[in-house]
Structure formats: structure tokens, C-alpha cells
Amino acid sequence: MRSGREVSSDLARAVALSIGLAAAVAGSADRSLATEPDPSIEEILIRGQDTGVADLFVVTPDRATPNAPDTTEMMNLVPGGDVVNNGPLSGQVQYRGMFGSRVGVRIDGMYISPGGPNWMDAPLHYAPRILLENLAVPRGIASVSAGAESIGGSAHAKLKRSQFTDSESFSAAADAQVSGRSVDSSIAGGGILSLANERHRFQLVGSAEVGDDMRAAKGRIVPTEFERYTYGGGYGVRLTEQHEVGIGYRHNDTGRSGNPALPMDIKYVNTEIANIEYSGHWSGAEIALNAYFMDVDHVMDNFGLRTPPASAALFRSTHATSTAFGYEAKTSLPFYDGTLAVGTDGHLVDHDMDVSNPNSSAFFVSNFNHVDRDRYSLFGEWRRNFGERWKLELGVRYSLIHMDAGNVDIGGIPASMLPPAQQLRDAFNAANREKFEHLVDAVVKLAVEPWSGWLVELSGGRKTRAPSYVERYAWLPLQATGGLADGNNYVGDIGLDPEESYLVDLGVEWRRADFYVAPRAFYHWVDDYIQGVPSTNADVIALSGPTTALVFANVEAELFGLDVPYAVRLPLNLQLDGTLSWVRAKRRDIDDNLYRIAPLRGRTTLSYLGNGWQVAVEGVYAARQSHVSASNGESPTGGWGVMNVFASWEVSEGIELEVGGDNVLDADYAHQLAGISRIDSSGVSMGERLPGPGWSVYGRLTARFR
């Protein structure tokens, strides 16, 4: 374990930076701010960000940067947020050091089940930025009403949709956008067209995004090209003033897209998503119902975009499918001078994955066969205000997880590999693969407004997560890992225990007419954290060859840190805003760190706010990350910083133009959360961490008509 001096040094550095920022903010504010604040300060203007209520951070796509095709990049604007980047359309949400299935990501209330075992189509893959209304992330501990298995927090993407009007006559509206950037020669366009009156609303949505290989400071990263097309529609009706029903459908068609950090690239991802929802009021209770269906057909290979293997025997094509059904029913009603929300939800998924070689019909791997992961959940949450200053929230959730898997098989492999593979297959097929997990979450939040413009919140809770289907049922050592992208081979463990996290969170918000600052500190004690450890199975080691063989196992972990959003209005129409985030994550059972954890990092933007226009210069920076996982063979990264500039102009009512430049100094840098390259190209070598984008110019034109 690291010494207390080292941990104290990290913590002191983060605390000093946050206190320094808060002091700078306070020192820049007008001395008259000690008086009663102007009511308008409740929503301090930060383009593309809305702090909303104290425990919710909302990001909108109006923000010029980060300028990338992957909506997940917007997590870089969230305090404590970051992105695990495995490809131009394959980013995963990281929040306070946790990522993947530990963060409950939903789109319009629907849980998203990626089609592939490496999450090439991670949840926000299905929320193109052009069609996004906002991305909301609860700060601190997610309430139990935010969803099940949210051990690492939650994020909710809301897509654009038609809105009812106040008139009997139908009126049309449109929200369209077209954009392009030079770093990958990409273009994107799309939007929503709606027709509505006071009782009916119709909508058509669509987007198209195409990009070439990305340029880094040292050269092109091949393959990082991408293409994605989305279209759909929806209809809603007000049955009465108290009752509404809506239906929606979307089709996602992702074509050839590179994933240099993964063993294969996307050939296609074809996905259908449909839902029906109801909201209404019955005898003083608010009721919401939602049911949805999702079907993913996903093919990936290692020869279509990247340089094919030297041997025809090493060509691989993988076909993965995912079919999911979900539902949610909840109601909110007055209870003991407060509001009681109760509900039930479920998410039932079936996964299959087969590996083949187009050069050999005899070769096949049935890697995941009829894998079921079904979750049924109940929750209750009570909120009450005590006087004008105190607020209390109590919540509890119970979830039942049922998992099972069919028999697996393998064929057409070399004779030397056959006995170990057959023994692993036979052991898996002979095992009792059906599992039931009972999970209980509980959250307590207490908030007080001690003075005008101040809010203090103390939260505590217990959060749980059952193993993913990959962690439990991966029987053959492969690099199908849920997107860990560390280059190691993994197998699962049917007997894994669920993760249990005990959390404490302390937040302070200080808001005045010309500034806002809201630091939050947290500590997570995690029992049975699921992490790869060296395998001792002789068959697994034999099949892995020179590649490190790991097995998913329960270990002990802890995470703690601090994150701070801030904003201050300065003289001469200037505004300074940004975030600072720091997390420390390590094993408690051995002297090691958790894998793929973002270092101390921040973003600071200085803007000039004109009448209908804005110009800004922005710095994005990160410290060196030396706290890396030896178990995963993770390498450290150095500190880095890039500068962006951008401007926006309201050309006329409803029409806006944005232009800018990213990484204008063409800095050569690599983010700790970027994957390790599996290929050689002009901009990166095999085994090297993927670099960030080089300098780029971009433009975006938005038109909104009502």
C-alpha cells in the first residue's frame, strides 16, 4: 500500500487547487454580493451547461467544445466526469473512477444493452449529438429512483422530441444542424421536424455522420474512420388534460468504423429501438409508465479496415446480437408532509456471440450462447422539506438478478490447442450456470441552506451491482472484456459475488449574483469489486500463450476524491467558468491501483459575452497519472494541456453560426483513459497509447424554427 504521505500529497494538491479557485472566484466578485442575491442568479449563464438543482448537472449540445462525434465526450464537461475512449463512436462514461456497467446510462428512460461484448456500441452510441436535448448527471450519490445497479452513478440522455402547443391549429417546427471539422474531414447533419397542436404531436428525426481517419500531432491514426445514420419518428396524444400517451421508434445504422484500441473494428451495427409511454394524474398521484424493446445486430472483424493479419488462419469475424425488453412503472404522491415515489422496473436481455474465420468454414467459437441477464427491481423514495432550510431524502431499492447461459462449443482449431479448449468447454458446460442475486440499495440525503445563497448536502448510502454477463460467462481466454482494452486475455467466473459499495458524499454550493462554486468530496468503500487477476488455470494459460491471462475475480477497493464546478462574471463582459476533478482509486487487498482511472484534470474557459455573440478561449489540462494498475499492465501518462478557441453568432432569430479551433497549438498528448493501440500507423505504434486529436478547425450551423 502507498504511504499516508503520498495519499495526503495527492489530496492536498486537489484541495489546494479547489480552494484556490473558490478564493479567486470570491475575490473577483462584487463586494455587494453579501446582500440578498438577485433572483436571476438561479441560472448563471454558462453556454451549454446548466447546474440546475444542486445535485444535478445538465449539459446541452449547444456547448462548442468538446467537438467530437461521440456524445459521451460531453462527460468531459461534468464535474467528476470523463470518457473511456475506445474509438470515434465507442466511448464509455466514466464518473468518479467507475465506468462500463457500473454507471447506469439511460436514453429517454430506457436502459441500453450494447450488442457486442466489448461495448463498441456503448449506451450513448445511440444518442447522436445532433438529436440530443441534454445529458443530465446527478452529482454525488445517485438516488435510488435514478435506477438499479448505479454503483458508479447514473447519466440520463434526453433526445429531442415534439411538444404539444396551446392551440387547436397545427403548427410545424424544425430544429436542424449541419457541421464539419478538419481533424477527421467529418461532416454531420440532421435534426427533428415536428407537427403539433394542443392534442396531437408528430415528429420525424434523422442524422447522418461520416468521418475519415483522425489526424494526431504525429500523423493519421488508422483506422478511426466512422459512419452512422439514425432515423425514426414518434407520435403523442393528450387523451385529456391529465393523461398523455406516446410512442417512438428509432433505427440506428452504424457502418464501417475503426476501433484501434480493440481487437476488431465495427463492420456494422443495425439496431431497432421502440417504446410506448404514458403519463397522467389519478386522484392526486402522478403516474408514469414506459415499456421498450431493443434489438441489436452487430458484426465486427479484424481485416476490413485495419491491415489484415499476415496469416489467413488469423482472420476473424464476430457476430454478436442483443435483444432486450424493459419496463418501468412509477407513481408519486403526497405522504407524511412530503412526497413518496414508488416504482418497479425491469430489464431483460439475451446475448449471443459467435466467432468465425471467413477463410476456414471449420473454425468457429460459440462464445456466448443464449446468455440471459434479467433484472427485476422495486424502489421507494420519500422526500420532505423541514421548514424553509432543511431537506431530507430516504430511499431503498431491491433488485433480483437472474442469469443463465447455454452450452458453448469450439471447432477447427490447431490440434495443440484442442485439448485445453475442450477441457474449458466441457467444464463450463458441466457447471451450474444459473445464478440469482439479491441486491439492496439504500440512500440518505440531508441538505440545509444555512445562509442565503449557500447549500450544504451530506449523503450516505449502499449501492450494489451484479456481475456482467462477460465477467461471469466468458469461458475461453479472449479480449472480449466489456471494453477494458488492456491487451490481456480474460475468462470469467460463474461464482462471482456482487459488488457492494458504501458511499459518503459531502457537497457545498455557494451561489451569488456573479459567481457560483460547488465543491463535492466523496469516499467509496467497495467490497467484492470485480477486477482481473492473474489466472492459475493451466488450460487458460496454455491457450493465452504469450498474452497475459487474467480471470475476473472479487477484490477489495476504495475510491475517494473531489470535484468542483465554478463560474464567475468579470468586468468588461467577461466570464470565467470550468471544472476541476480528482479521484484516487486503489486496491485494498494488495498494493495496486484500479485500472484506467483519470488523473487530476480540469477545464477553464474565458468568454467575452457580447450582444448575440460570444468568443472564448479554453484550456483543457491533466496532471501526470502514475497511479496505474500493475495487474492490468497499465502504463503511466505525463501531464498535458491543450488550448481551444471558439465563437458563436446569432445571425438572426433561430439561426446560429459557431466556428472554432481545437488544440490550436497542435499539442502531442495522450489521455490516460485512451486505449492501447492494436495497430501500427503513421500516428501511433502498436502497444502505444492512442494520442488525442491534433489541431482542427470546425464550423456548425443551427437553424430552429417554431
**pLDDT tens per residue across span 505-527:** 999 999 988 999 999 999 999 99
Contacts of residue 143, defined as CB under 8 A and 6 or more positions apart, other chains included, come to 381, 393, 395, 443, 445
Query: Residues 15-25: what's their mean pLDDT?
Result: 37
| pLDDT at residue 446 greater than cutoff 80 | yes
121 closest CA partner among 133, 111, 132, 113: 113
Give domain limits for the chain: 4-705
| pLDDT at residue 373 greater than cutoff 70 | yes
Q: Which three cell numbers stand for residue 430?
A: 458441466
| pLDDT at residue 58 greater than cutoff 70 | yes
Q: Which pLDDT does position 53 carry in this prediction?
A: 56
Q: Which pLDDT does position 55 carry in this prediction?
A: 78
Q: What is the pLDDT of residues 563-597, one digit of tens each?
A: 999 999 999 999 999 999 999 999 999 999 999 99
Which strands make up the sheet holding 81-84, listed edge to edge? 81-84, 92-95, 98-99
Residue 460: pLDDT band by 50, 70, 90 thresholds? very high
DSSP state of 466: P
Per the CB < 8 A criterion, the answer to whether 149 and 437 are in contact is no
Contacts of residue 107, defined as CB under 8 A and 6 or more positions apart, other chains included, come to 123, 124, 126, 127, 156, 157, 159
Residue 33: pLDDT band by 50, 70, 90 thresholds? very low
Residue 377: pLDDT band by 50, 70, 90 thresholds? very high
Q: Which pLDDT does position 50 carry in this prediction?
A: 67
Query: Residues 275-302: what's their mean pLDDT?
Result: 96
Per the CB < 8 A criterion, the answer to whether 685 and 655 are in contact is no
CA angle 623, 627, 628 (to 5 degrees): 115
Query: Residues 188-192: what's their mean pLDDT?
Result: 97
| pLDDT at residue 37 greater than cutoff 60 | no
Question: Based on the number of CB atoms within 10 Å of its own CB, is 484 exposed (0-12), middle (13-18) or buried (19 or more)?
Answer: buried
Q: Which pLDDT does position 23 carry in this prediction?
A: 36
Query: Residues 389-413: what's their mean pLDDT?
Result: 97
Query: Residues 316-339: what's their mean pLDDT?
Result: 97
Contacts of residue 554, defined as CB under 8 A and 6 or more positions apart, other chains included, come to 496, 497, 499, 528, 529, 530
Query: Residues 458-472: what's their mean pLDDT?
Result: 98
| pLDDT at residue 17 greater than cutoff 60 | no
Q: What is the pLDDT of residues 603-639, one digit of tens each?
A: 999 999 999 999 999 999 999 999 999 999 999 999 9
Please report the beta strands in 199-264, taking only residues with DSSP state E, as ranges in sequence order: 200-211, 214-216, 219-221, 226-240, 243-254
Domain formed by 4-705, architecture = Beta Barrel (2.40)
**Rounded distance between C-alpha atoms, residue 635 and residue 384, angstroms:** 48
CA dist list (Å): 117 to 89, 249, 334, 381, 655: 15, 25, 43, 34, 42
Q: What is the pLDDT of residues 639-666, one digit of tens each?
A: 999 999 999 999 999 999 999 999 999 9
CA dist list (Å): 272 to 67, 115, 121, 254: 27, 11, 13, 12
| pLDDT at residue 34 greater than cutoff 50 | no
Per the CB < 8 A criterion, the answer to whether 659 and 647 are in contact is yes
Query: Residues 289-296: what's their mean pLDDT?
Result: 98
Continuous segment of H or E residues that includes residue 527: strand 520-534
Q: Which three cell numbers stand for residue 176?
A: 436542424
| pLDDT at residue 28 greater than cutoff 70 | no
Backbone φ and ψ of 411, nearest 5°: -160, 160
Percent of the chain with pLDDT over 90: 88
| pLDDT at residue 264 greater than cutoff 90 | yes
Which amino acid, 118? Answer: N
**Among 99-108, 281-290, 383-392, 674-683, the least confident range:** 674-683
Taking phi over 0 as left and psi of -120 to 50 as alpha, with beta for the rest, 207 belongs to beta
| pLDDT at residue 131 greater than cutoff 50 | yes
235 closest CA partner among 194, 207, 206, 272: 194
Percent of the chain with pLDDT over 70: 93
Q: Which residues pair with 171 in a beta bridge?
A: 196
Query: Residues 32-52: what's their mean pLDDT?
Result: 48
Question: Based on the number of CB atoms within 10 Å of its own CB, is 698 exposed (0-12), middle (13-18) or buried (19 or more)?
Answer: buried
**Rounded distance between C-alpha atoms, residue 544 and residue 551, angstroms:** 12
